[in-house]
Amino acid sequence: MPRYAAFLRGVMPTNAKMPELKRSFEAAGFTAVKTVRSSGNVVFDARASSLSALERKAEAAMAATIGRSFLTIVRPVEALKALLAADPFARFELAPGSKRVVTFLRGSPRSRLDLPIELDGASILADLGGEVFSAYVPSPRGPVYMSLIEKTCGPEVTTRTWDTVAKVVLA
């Protein structure tokens, strides 16, 4: 069976417990379910299906088992491995101290992106259709990259650090 990763938007330890999310995915019929970190990353096995069908199934199971659902974006683990191997950040010269992040889109960007797009030390560097790659330098202004991403790509997105994506692939 194929292995998938689900990235849930807005999950944190104060609003969802990982054991509850794990049980929700198991209730949906997914197997070999494992959560990664406490920010809404779930890896699971499922019969081959469309990503949107898997997303709907996970969201419905969360609503039924924990009484709340989170926007869910699913990617095949094999596709994530290929993404990591390709390393879209390698062709850019990042500022010292930059953090690399990947934004997963539920659909396609609203329009073709004229890159790079920059705001207060945050840059959207690359767009591969379903994923957008950004870098930012942490500052006292907080995560300005998040507002830049949502303004550019819309609300049906979720963002993970490059390191978290690597941990998800290994789970």
> CB–CB of 91/131 below 8 Å?
no
Q: What is the mean pLDDT of the chain?
A: 91
> From the centroid of its chain, how far is CA 40?
9
Position 129 scores a pLDDT of: 79
Instruction: State the pLDDT confidence band at 110, using cuts at 50, 70 and 90.
Output: low
Closest CA to 164 of 40, 64, 58: 40
Position 112 scores a pLDDT of: 72
pLDDT tens figures, 152-161: 888 899 999 9
Asked if residue 122 has pLDDT above 90, the reply is no
Average pLDDT rounded to a whole number, residues 129-152: 82
> CB–CB of 11/40 below 8 Å?
yes
Where is pLDDT greater, at 53 or 142? 53
Closest CA to 162 of 83, 102, 81, 80: 102
Domains, the chain: 3-77 (3.30.70.1280), 87-170 (3.30.70)
Give the separation between CA 132 and CA 153, rounded to whole angstroms. 9
pLDDT tens figures, 81-99: 999 999 999 999 998 989 9
Count other C-beta atoms under 10 Å from residue 132's C-beta: 25
Instruction: State the pLDDT confidence band at 148, using cuts at 50, 70 and 90.
Output: confident
